[in-house]
Amino acid sequence: MATGERQVVFSRPESLAPVRMHYCPGCTHGIIHRLVAEMLDEFDLVERAVGIAPVGCAVFAYDYFNCDMIEAAHGRAPAVATGVKRVRPDLFVFSYQGDGDLASIGMAETIHAAARGENITVVFVNNAVYGMTGGQMAPTTLLGQVTSTTPFGRDAKTAGHPIRMCELLATLDGPAYLARVTVTSPRRVREAKRALRRAFEAQERGLGFALLEVLSTCPTRWGMPPEKALSWVEDEMTTQYPIKEFVCAEELRGDKAEGDS
């Protein structure tokens, strides 16, 4: 390369629309969006993908991805994704859902799509709180965690226990890929990208249900500055929700899925 010649080494993924996102400062929804878009680019899916947006802070995801998008009712994204995928198996269908959406109101849809081995990819953003509605308790809220509806901290006696979705779904035979990652550091982001690649690959190879749980920050509803929110994920959330690959179909090990980002 001639000296002085400039080269673009980093740019916005083509699948990510050039618009300003509405997420709060320090919210990791944006990083997760970017990873999804990078995968859409990498697998050359923008003309063949249909994304399902949730009800939750990611509701406007339909404005952020350049592929066809459907906005689903609260919790129903896996059923909507099933409807699309069953009639058009040639399309790549993914949903993007929060913890209230996926693990509370949409629990039945999630479990049954997984049990059917529905050939879809689910990106599950677990921020242990209801972001959009003002910081209420989520099914994934930690014991002792203060939310607007557990003002004295979540008490198992009255508010029950947190739900570990990957562990729950791993009891089923339908999932081809289940993993939990986070995006709190560059290394974590790279690991998350590797896992997301497998979650995409699973569908492209027709292996069955794939879900990637991403531990995400909500500095606004947690009442923490962004940096502290990142360490709260590492210090508190990962102990309750271990970073781990739970299910990985044989076909996904090795080759392309193994490649680094």
Chain positions contacting ligand TPP, by CB under 6 A: 55-58, 74, 98-101, 125, 127, 129-133, 138
100 binds ligand SF4 (CB under 6 A): no
The residue among 28 and 119 lying less far from ligand SF4, judged by its C-beta, is: 28
Q: Would you state the structure tokens that stand for residue 17, as one six-digit string?
A: 């629309």
Residue 88 contacts another protein per CB under 8 A? yes
Stretch in the footprint of another protein (CB under 8 A) among 77-85, 146-154, 187-195, 200-208: 77-85
- Residue from the set 95, 119, 127, 184 that interacts with ligand SF4 by CB under 6 A: 127
* Minimum distance, C-beta of residue 196 to ligand TPP, in the bound complex (Å): 18
Determine the Cα–Cα distance for residues 116 and 58; give it in Å rounded to an integer. Answer: 26
| Count of all residues that appear for the chain in the document | 261
| Of the residues 221, 230, 232, 252, which one makes contact with ligand SF4 according to CB under 6 A | 221
Q: How many residues bind ligand SF4 (CB under 6 A)?
A: 11
Residue 29 as a binder of ligand SF4 (CB under 6 A): the answer is yes
Q: Is the distance from CB of 205 to CB of 197 less than 8 angstroms?
A: no
The single residue among 76, 180, 188, 197 that binds another protein, judged by CB under 8 A, is 76
Residue 35, φ and ψ in degrees, nearest 5: -60, -40
In the complex, the smallest distance separating the C-beta of residue 113 from another protein, rounded to whole angstroms, is: 9
- Give contact residues for ligand SF4 (rule: CB under 6 A): 23-24, 27, 29, 57, 127, 131, 218-221
- Give contact residues for another protein (rule: CB under 8 A): 46-50, 52, 59, 62-63, 65-73, 76, 79-88, 91, 108-109, 111-112, 173
